[in-house]
Amino acid sequence: MTFANVGTLGAAPGRRDDLVAHLTRRSDALSRAGCLLYEVGIGDEPDTVYVMELWTSAEAHQASLQLPEVRDSIAQARPMLSGATGGFRFQVVGSPLRDPA
Amino acid sequence: MTFANVGTLGAAPGRRDDLVAHLTRRSDALSRAGCLLYEVGIGDEPDTVYVMELWTSAEAHQASLQLPEVRDSIAQARPMLSGATGGFRFQVVGSPLRDPA
């Protein structure tokens, strides 16, 4: 069942754009791991980066966190992060844009 | 610029599944209005429905709220809602799943 992960990542002072560049760096490992959608954005909150992800399953998302590429990426991001996080996760059950599966 | 709207909708007691059914009812008006993605889901929080939307622009999203179909849908949903809402909006600036535009 498609899994959604939506969140905010606080950026260290002055590092928001670096964090955006890091998170949007092309990663075919994510697709291979079952990532269907991964949008990164900015909004009204300063020093905040927004992410919106869809995965083939919650298990695929969880497993991706153990991939060497993803672990390296998380380690590289650490100095850009303030530590503040927010958001939520859910199981997708449908969409008004398509007929039921 | 692609606009993202992500949120939680509190359901009136016992109405969560009705609200999910309502929100996932096929609506070609949304596509015509510039809605690119509209995923509806459920998660750990009881009486809560999650939505994740992408639109061609913030203006397209705002304009959609004035469409007769959308106004009717919002009016029909009202008895299913508790009034609790959460979430955030952002401008998409990129994705690791594709090359920069």
Mapping DSSP onto H, E and C, the string for B54-84 reads EECCHHHHHHHCCCHHHHHHHHHHHHHEEEE
Nearest residue to B87 via CA among A34, A19, A4: A4
Tokens of A26: 């092309």
pLDDT, average across residues A45-51: 95
- Residue B40 to residue A91, Cβ atoms within 8 A: no
Has residue A100 got a pLDDT over 90? no
Domain ranges of chain A: 3-86
CATH number of B3-55+62-85: 3.30.70.100
CATH number of A3-86: 3.30.70.100
Sequence-distant (6+) residues with CB within 8 A of B41 are: A4, A90, A91, A92, A93, B49, B50, B51, B52
Residue in A31, A40, A50 closest to B88 by CB: A50
Nearest residue to B17 via CA among B80, B68, B101, B71: B80
pLDDT in tens, A69-78: 999 999 999 9
Residue in A20, A91, A98 closest to B93 by CB: A20
Has residue A101 got a pLDDT over 80? no
A41 contact residues in B (CB cutoff 8 A): 4, 90-93
A100 lies within 8 A of chain B by CB: yes
What rounded mean pLDDT belongs to chain B? 96
Report residue A21 CA to chain centroid gap: 13
Instruction: Please give the ipTM for the structure prediction.
Output: 0.94
Has residue B47 got a pLDDT over 80? yes
A79 lies within 8 A of chain B by CB: no
- In the structure, what pLDDT confidence band is assigned to residue A50 with cuts at 50, 70 and 90? very high
- Give me the amino acid identity at B73: S
Give the burial class of A31: count Cβ atoms within 10 A of its Cβ; 0-12 exposed, 13-18 middle, 19 or more buried: middle
pLDDT, greater one: A82 or A44: A82
Nearest residue of chain A to residue B27 (CA atoms): A96
Q: How far is B43 from chain A (nearest CA, A)?
A: 5
